[in-house]
Structure 1
Amino acid sequence: MVVLTLREMTTWFDVTVFELWIHFGATIISSILLCLKFHDVINISYMWVASPLFIGLAFVVYFVFIIFLRSCVEYKDYRSPTLKFVLNLYRLTCITLFIYSVVDKISGELEKSEVANRNSYGMVFLPMWFLLGSWGLQMCRTSNT
């Protein structure tokens, strides 16, 4: 069993520890809401269950944007921070599209007992395949330096 260290994870996936904590906290809150929904303690939609994930992603986008501006202003370098910012936005967009697609597909099938989203699960998971491919390229790029 191979477990990534924190250093490998932050280097290969180009995330910071702060971003990981935000995603971890949002996942915990969404999991609690999902358990409460399954046990009929609260009656909310699946989109509300996933709302902490979207809020966490919005915080990470804000954090990445602040880092981008700070890097441009302090170091007077625009090429490297811009590339990093675009790749981070690509990563966060893929994650957001995946979460939205999964929640839309599940809410149609479980809440309404109908097919609200006619996309197949292959189309729902397409952003994650793109993200995994880009992570593979990122890992190869950082391993060679």
Structure 2
Amino acid sequence: RPRADDRPSRVRHPDPPQLVGAHPRVSVRAPRRRQVTPVMFFTVRELVQWLGLTVFEIWVNLVAVTFFTVALAVKVETGWGSWWLVFAPLFAGDALNAYFCTIVFIRMHLEGMYKVALMRGVWSLSFLLLLFVFKFLLCKKLSGQSGLVYSEVMSPIFILLQLILIRACQLH
């Protein structure tokens, strides 16, 4: 009695598609189309290019925003602490990023990349300064220490968005 593996296979594989009038040994297949799925998120490379931040700076900002979010939730739910204490992680993140940018600026300057160091330093300084001013004004507004309107508080963000827009247009 023959075993199952000794039997010839009854599954017949279809012949590859052939063109009419083509050589019997030559088959032509239509090239496969690569499916492109829409991606809604930016890649890390795009964020680094457009924002002018390094991956470390983005990581520091994400950690600061995480601690800020926890402090904000506790403040809203229990009324604990002042707004200055809630915003402390964001201010600490700005300080760490400023320290890191200073180190990068000095190292680039010492390596002789004067123009690149100056451009990166100006961009980092303006980015950090505008974000700090926004957070400072928002914290003063929420604490009731300032009579500014919210459009005035948001003005550093509007300026920063315009600078990012200009930078993105220069890159492409």
Q: Do they fold alike, i.e. is TM over 0.5? A: yes
C-alpha distance in 1 between matches for 2:101 and 2:171: 20
Alignment of 1:68-79 (within 5 A): 68-74=105-111, 76-79=112-115
1:17-52 per-position Cα deviation (integer Å, ceiling 9, x unaligned): 111110010111111111122222x73101110011
Aligned partner of 1:21 in structure 2 is 59
1:126 maps to amino acid: S
Task: Give yes or no for the alignment of 1:95 onto 2:95.
Answer: no
Length, aligned pairs only: 134
C-alpha distance in 2 between matches for 1:7 and 1:43: 39
Aligned partner of 1:133 in structure 2 is 162
Deviation at 1:6, TM superposition (A): 1.0
C-alpha distance in 2 between matches for 1:132 and 1:66: 26
C-alpha distance in 2 between matches for 1:141 and 1:2: 22
Superposition TM-score, scaled by structure 2 size: 0.74
Alignment of 1:58-77 (within 5 A): 58-74=95-111, 76-77=112-113
3-state SS of 2:42 partner: coil
User: Among the aligned pairs, what percent are the same residue?
Assistant: 29
Deviation at 1:66, TM superposition (A): 0.4
Aligned partner of 2:40 in structure 1 is 2
Q: Identify which of 73, 83, 87 aligns with 1:46.
A: 83
Deviation at 1:77, TM superposition (A): 2.2
* Structure 1: unaligned runs, 5 residues or longer: 109-115
Q: Identify which of 143, 146, 153 aligns with 1:117.
A: 146
Q: Which has the higher contact order (CA 8 A, sep 6+)?
A: 1
C-alpha distance in 2 between matches for 1:140 and 1:94: 20
Greater helix fraction, Structure 1 or Structure 2: 1
1:66 maps to amino acid: I
Superposition TM-score, scaled by structure 1 size: 0.87
Deviation at 1:117, TM superposition (A): 1.4
* Structure 2: unaligned runs, 5 residues or longer: 1-38
Q: Identify which of 106, 121, 132 aligns with 2:142.
A: 106
Aligned residues: CA RMSD? 1.3
Task: Give yes or no for the alignment of 1:80 onto 2:80.
Answer: no
